[in-house]
Structure 1
Amino acid sequence: MTGRKPNWIPRVVAVAALLLGAGCDMVGVHHIAQKDYAAQRRSDVLSTRTLSDSTVQALNVVALDRDACAANFPRCTNTLLYSDGLDDERRLSSLAELWLAYAIQHDHAGDSTAIDDAALDAYLQSARYAYAYLFYTARDPGERAFETRQWQVLDFYNYATRRAVGSFFRLLPTLGTDWMRTPVAGWNLLKPSTDVYLGSGDYLPKQLIPAADLGFSGLRNSYRRDGFGSTFIAIGANPNDSDQPWRESNYVPLTAVLEFPGATLQSVLETHDVRVYAKNPYLDNAITLDGQSIPLAANFTAPYGVWLARSGFAQQSIRSLLGRGGLARPEVLLMQPYDPDRLTVIMLHGLASSPEAWINVVNEVMGDEQLRRTYQVWEVYYPTNVPVAVNLAQIRKAIDDTLHHFDPSGRAVASNHIVLIGHSMGGVIARLLVSSSGDRLWRVLPERPGLTATQQQKIRQRLAPYLQFTPMPQVTRAVFLAAPHRGTPVAQWKLARWIGSLIRLPLTLLEEGKGLTDAMQGKGATRGTPARIPNSIDNLSNEDPFIEASSTLPISPEVHYHTIVGIYKSKGPLAASDDGVVPYASAHLDGADSELVVPSWHDVQETPQAIIELRRILRLHASALHCLWQAGAGDAGRTQLACGQPSS
């Protein structure tokens, strides 16, 4: 027996181990750090490229794990689909994430290249399982509104939709117009349904850019609406070079939705039909799916930001000021495709400027849900080198032509109760658009003795479009920002005069000036000495005859007007202050419904205070009109007073 272990020793060891094991805790407790709390709950294949905790737990229930799924993906998804132990919500949400992970792993295409069939099929599988989870399980989306898992699944759906729709978009131009369904990656693509109209007259964009990928500098805020669907910028064909003075926007928001037809959960899971809905978020707040009204996602800032970034306005406006190319005549730029049922806001920029002057103003208006439902924005883009009187006449004609083109009868909401907003020189022009000249401006002409009656009549005929005008009847409210209604001494500074000397006026205007000079030759006049035509900088001088005469013209009593004034250099009393360019005394208007003074340089329209004030005024305008429309016909004075407006 010496040297041999007793046979009872292993048994003792085994019993001891069993007893010790029974006395140990099998579950430990640890605390999750605060910084890891949100990450653990929200981590998923989109945010961290790893499966969410919910999907991992679902795999554990059916005796699977990540490695098993990676080794045999078809077996993994089939096991999840058919095994007991999971309810439909856990099953479908996990399948949506697994298929999305598979699609991302096999998607090697960029936004400008086509996705291969395997990856596209996986994106559609993911979108279908997410769609089934959202609309074909026991609870409807509203009952899960506060659950993190639903937001994850919605993100899975939206991302899969984004990639699939981008792939479909490249296919559409090859299909013509007569098709109803076409095979794509083992699926049947049904003909898309769309209400997205592009300014080029098309419903099929030339370019489609995912909006979620973009960020913008220069824009203070980015306005989005959370919801169902994937957001895009739809870009139409470039506008042609016809003689029309208007351009509808060809950069518009689009929200894409994939629908998987079926009356039951089983039929949805078995279908290989898919339809794309392309919705205009300006028109559509929601979409009806499975009998439920579902709020649509939207991005209202991205189309505007891309349009501005690609416009080249900054360089073009300087060339236009100096008369060295660029813009030749005023254009009316519609920020959204024309809508007859929305009120119109028309914005006019200032000297050496462009629509970029309204970057944040327009974005804030389009980003405000109430204002977006009520208004459409037009921007007048005009050459700022020519005299104010010439721009006034040409801008008036461009606006009139645009209104008549879209609404020949003049009865649409868009054609009435227009709001004009003008900054700097654009504010001067805006005020003249709502003023009456009578015969007051004829005295700005230099006296030429000895003119015959025929010569005088000829001169009047030529100058009447510039010196004789009436208010635009369609405008009932105006806002003037830092507008030098009485001119500014800055226009006489040496630097301003030097810049003015660099300005070239259009050849047609110079020829018109020479023609006028010839017509104005009277007795004793020296022939061949044409009168000098003032440029825009000359017109902004506080000593300019036209600005002096026009500053006293009466504003239409039908127009409610407001002023916003910047104060950059305070010189004691408000009346002695200025914004660095325009004196307060020049920007102030007696009789205004309101005046806001903002600590600001001349670009006061970019300040948050001015934007808030503009939004207030636009809400006031809409509210007053709603009251008037509700009141209907009757005594106009009493109706206006009841609606909080002074009787005109």
Structure 2
Amino acid sequence: MRHHPSGYFRRACSRMGPARAAAVLALTMLAACAGPVEVRQVSLVRSYNDARHTTLQGHGPGADTRIVLRRHGLDGLWDRHPDRAIAALRQQAGAGHGDELPDILFALAELSYRQGLRHHRAEDFLAAAIYAYAFLQPGQAGGPDPYDPRFRQAADFYNLGLTAAFPAPVAIVAQRRALPFGDIELAADPAQLHWHRRMLEGFRPTATLAVSGMPNVYHTPGLGEALTALGRPEDSAPATAQAQDTAHDGKLFEVTSRLRIPANMMLDLDDPRSQVLGGHLHGRLVVHVMDESRDTPVPPAYDQTAARAISLQETALWTKEYRGFFDGTTYDGTQPRLVAMTPHRPGNMPVVFIHGTASSPYRWAGMVNDLLEDRNIRDHFDFWFFSYATSNPIPYSAWQLRRAITQAVDSLGGTQADPALGHITLVGHSQGGLLARMLVINPGDRLWNGTAGRPLSTFRLNPRTRQLIVDTMFPTPMPEIERVVFIATPQHGSYLAGMSLAQLVGRMTSLPWRVTETAREIVTGAGDSTHPDNRMPRLGSVYAMSPRSPFMRTLPTIPIMPDVHTHSIIPVCGAGDPLSHADDGVVSYESAHIPGVESELVVRHSEHSTQSNPFTIAEVQRILLLQLARNPATAARAMPVQAAIR
């Protein structure tokens, strides 16, 4: 049985007093007269999230696009038939007045992007990018106010739309692509793929890559699809084959073909707002490379850290760090020892990074990633990385480094062709610092006599063996080296290297045949090879770095050349108080400290592997900027890559 509301109200009032019934009646009437507009207080977070609700986050259309749909009577149609709603809105854009065209273009970009996410259709993503480009009108008058939130959103629709429309492998060639409303003819100039006498290939998008293992992940904001590319030497085999071929040709220096280059692809259209409403569009694909991009009205977007991380992942040479320590022949004549990240640009000063024991060049990744974010460093320095078998004798590895640097400088025309090649900075970590020191001293016969205990002239040796000893134990300073940075370097030996466990590990390592044969000849050439106590000398780096070794007792007594600028970065565990008892777990402060350096930074609360410590990186950055400030002439000679190519 149903009851009429008015009857119910009368019966309720009969059970109340007159005053109470009147109050209830008044409240009921007020509720019935409440207006449709309501204002309520929300939190700052809620306010921001409501304003930024967008398809980019995987939601439905944002508030601005919903306004356009409602004003054109298409809100319900969008919910029922999205493709028909987009077609209707596009038709109304052609018939509408100019003031509302930007609003419609933005809405079309977001709605097309939503359809791309929903159906995974490349043509929808491409349409979203084109609509967003027409809304932005980059480089032209009449674009949106940069304070308009839609400005950044439209840039993201453009960038991510291109990423979805041009997945890996990205083919930057002339092509015709379908659109939901027609098609677009895309031109692509093949000449833009030539970079520093290399052919750019293997383009791979980076927008959907998540990088871990790098403390800082850097992006360069701008327009376009962020990519990475491989630079294959022109008129040669593909990049992977080229890398394998050079592994056996005796080269000590090469520009790597395996490191990926941060790149970008833009889709440009002339008069985009007129074109976008037609059925047959014309555009062009334009490639940019990060190191050639100067300040432009339309900056390209890059994911530079992602490019560097992919390089590390694809080469994975850190897996050979311990093999390179135990097997001294790993790098003996089979791998280029000095690798440049990018081709040399005239006027750029080389920085050579030298890793430590049981390590690899990739331990510099965090530092290099941060240093390259400094535009002055990126534009005026070339980064080279030295690889070597870290169990080999230190003088032998230093000789290899010397030969590699000499070959690199000569292959680039020498210091007369480019004076910047005469302003090299060495950055050595741990044992790498000892290799660097061997290149900036002039010991005469002191190092040999102190290590061998007798003059070289007293040994009966064949000419080849004698020459190797002269090359390794009688070094001369390299005039091209202007500055050395020692990081956690055991200048007076490592107490860890003197421990019995380290000595046991040292015995497990192998040495190159040339080194072992030289050692045998030294023993037999000493004239007392029949003596029962005459054994093979301990030549490996572990023995040499022991504070008790003759080599380590002699090397610190030989001064560094006075015209070489030196800096020390010394990590210590904890607060390092007092410094006289501090160490980094491998090297004590007293061993790493040397007098006479231009600067010494003690990095507290840091262990031996301090390359990624922010204070260590900041100090290397300061030193490189100091090097740049003291060589203004080379800075003036530095030029963009394209100019260097010509």
**Interval containing the TM-score (normalised by the shorter chain):** 0.7 to 0.9
2-structure distance, mates of 1:483, 1:241: 35
1-structure distance, mates of 2:337, 2:65: 56
Moved more, 48-57 or 98-107: 98-107
1-structure distance, mates of 2:151, 2:290: 23
Structure 1 counterpart of 2:44, one-letter code = Q
2-structure distance, mates of 1:436, 1:451: 19
2-structure distance, mates of 1:164, 1:104: 11
1:49 aligned counterpart, secondary structure: coil
Residue 187 in structure 1 maps to residue 200 in structure 2:
no
Per-residue deviation at 1:248?
2.4
Aligned to 1:25: 35
Aligned to 1:544: 549
Aligned to 1:97: 110
Aligned runs of 1:518-533 on 2, under 5 Å?
518=524, 520-522=525-527, 531-533=536-538
1:367 aligned counterpart, secondary structure: coil
Per-residue deviation at 1:508?
3.0
Aligned to 1:44: 54
Which of 245, 252, 256 in structure 1 is aligned with 2:261? 252
Aligned to 1:321: 325
Per-residue deviation at 1:191?
1.8
2-structure distance, mates of 1:258, 1:606: 38
8 Å contact kept, 1:136–1:265: no
Q: Cα gap change, 1:266/1:318 in structure 2, threshold over 3 Å: closer, same or farther? A: same
Per-residue deviation at 1:269?
4.4
2-structure distance, mates of 1:50, 1:587: 60
2:372 aligned counterpart, secondary structure: helix
2-structure distance, mates of 1:605, 1:71: 54
1-structure distance, mates of 2:508, 2:456: 35
1-structure distance, mates of 2:593, 2:139: 64
Aligned to 2:150: 149
8 Å contact kept, 2:328–2:511: no
Per-residue deviation at 1:272?
1.9
Aligned runs of 1:341-356 on 2, under 5 Å?
341-356=347-362
Stretches of structure 2 that go unaligned for 5 or more consecutive residues are 1-28, 232-238, 637-646
Per-residue deviation at 1:73?
4.4
Per-residue deviation at 1:263?
4.3
Which of 443, 446, 453 in structure 1 is aligned with 2:449? 443
Q: Over residues 91-135 of structure 1, what are the superposed CA-to-partner deviations in whole Å (9 max), with x where a residue is unaligned?
A: 21112222222233332xxxxxxxxxxx33333322222111111
8 Å contact kept, 1:51–1:97: yes
Aligned to 1:359: 365
Aligned to 1:211: 206
Q: Cα gap change, 1:162/1:71 in structure 2, threshold over 3 Å: closer, same or farther? A: closer
Structure 2 counterpart of 1:35, one-letter code = V
TM-score, with normalisation over the residues of structure 1?
0.82
Structure 1 counterpart of 2:540, one-letter code = N
TM-score, with normalisation over the residues of structure 2?
0.82
Aligned to 1:234: 229
8 Å contact kept, 1:517–1:530: yes
Which of 265, 273, 278 in structure 2 is aligned with 1:265? 273
Per-residue deviation at 1:158?
0.5
Q: Which has the higher contact order (CA 8 A, sep 6+)?
A: 2
2-structure distance, mates of 1:574, 1:21: 78
1-structure distance, mates of 2:194, 2:432: 30
Structure 1 counterpart of 2:439, one-letter code = L
Aligned to 1:120: 122
Aligned to 1:506: 512
Per-residue deviation at 1:484?
0.8
8 Å contact kept, 1:197–1:337: no
Aligned to 1:568: 573
Moved more, 303-312 or 466-475: 303-312
Q: Cα gap change, 1:609/1:171 in structure 2, threshold over 3 Å: closer, same or farther? A: closer
8 Å contact kept, 1:352–1:384: yes
8 Å contact kept, 1:450–1:523: no
8 Å contact kept, 1:346–1:380: yes
Stretches of structure 1 that go unaligned for 5 or more consecutive residues are 1-18, 108-118, 176-180, 288-292, 631-648
Per-residue deviation at 1:465?
0.6
8 Å contact kept, 1:193–1:276: no
8 Å contact kept, 1:80–1:95: no
Residue 581 in structure 1 maps to residue 586 in structure 2:
yes
Per-residue deviation at 1:526?
5.5
Q: Cα gap change, 1:106/1:193 in structure 2, threshold over 3 Å: closer, same or farther? A: farther
1-structure distance, mates of 2:64, 2:362: 47
2:490 aligned counterpart, secondary structure: coil
8 Å contact kept, 2:486–2:569: yes
Per-residue deviation at 1:605?
2.6
Q: RMSD of aligned C-alpha atoms?
A: 3.3
Moved more, 406-415 or 212-221: 406-415
Q: Cα gap change, 1:602/1:404 in structure 2, threshold over 3 Å: closer, same or farther? A: same
2-structure distance, mates of 1:439, 1:521: 17
2-structure distance, mates of 1:524, 1:299: 62
Moved more, 590-599 or 460-469: 460-469
Per-residue deviation at 1:501?
1.4
2-structure distance, mates of 1:170, 1:468: 53
Aligned to 1:475: 481
Which of 298, 302, 305 in structure 2 is aligned with 1:301? 305
Aligned runs of 1:478-489 on 2, under 5 Å?
478-489=484-495
Structure 2 counterpart of 1:59, one-letter code = L
2-structure distance, mates of 1:629, 1:189: 39
8 Å contact kept, 1:89–1:137: no
Structure 2 counterpart of 1:84, one-letter code = G
Q: Over residues 410-468 of structure 1, what are the superposed CA-to-partner deviations in whole Å (9 max), with x where a residue is unaligned?
A: 53365131211111000111122122222222304646799779759776433111012
8 Å contact kept, 2:419–2:634: no
Residue 34 in structure 1 maps to residue 44 in structure 2:
yes
2-structure distance, mates of 1:300, 1:274: 26
2-structure distance, mates of 1:477, 1:46: 49
Per-residue deviation at 1:151?
0.7
1:489 aligned counterpart, secondary structure: coil
Moved more, 373-382 or 385-394: 373-382
Q: Cα gap change, 1:557/1:273 in structure 2, threshold over 3 Å: closer, same or farther? A: same
Per-residue deviation at 1:582?
1.3
Aligned runs of 1:359-438 on 2, under 5 Å?
359-408=365-414, 410-412=416-418, 414-438=420-444
Residue 466 in structure 1 maps to residue 504 in structure 2:
no
8 Å contact kept, 1:129–1:269: no
Q: Cα gap change, 1:491/1:58 in structure 2, threshold over 3 Å: closer, same or farther? A: same
Which of 109, 119, 143 in structure 2 is aligned with 1:106? 119
2-structure distance, mates of 1:256, 1:354: 33
2-structure distance, mates of 1:571, 1:266: 68
Q: Cα gap change, 1:91/1:572 in structure 2, threshold over 3 Å: closer, same or farther? A: closer
8 Å contact kept, 1:421–1:480: yes
Residue 72 in structure 1 maps to residue 67 in structure 2:
no
2:600 aligned counterpart, secondary structure: strand
1-structure distance, mates of 2:261, 2:100: 41
Structure 1 counterpart of 2:273, one-letter code = L
Which of 617, 622, 627 in structure 2 is aligned with 1:611? 617
2-structure distance, mates of 1:356, 1:629: 28
1-structure distance, mates of 2:426, 2:100: 59
2-structure distance, mates of 1:95, 1:62: 13
2-structure distance, mates of 1:155, 1:248: 34
Q: Over residues 147-181 of structure 1, what are the superposed CA-to-partner deviations in whole Å (9 max), with x where a residue is unaligned?
A: 101111111011112223336x5556xx7xxxxx4
Per-residue deviation at 1:488?
2.3
Residue 81 in structure 1 maps to residue 93 in structure 2:
yes
Per-residue deviation at 1:286?
4.5
Q: Percent same amino acid at aligned positions?
A: 28
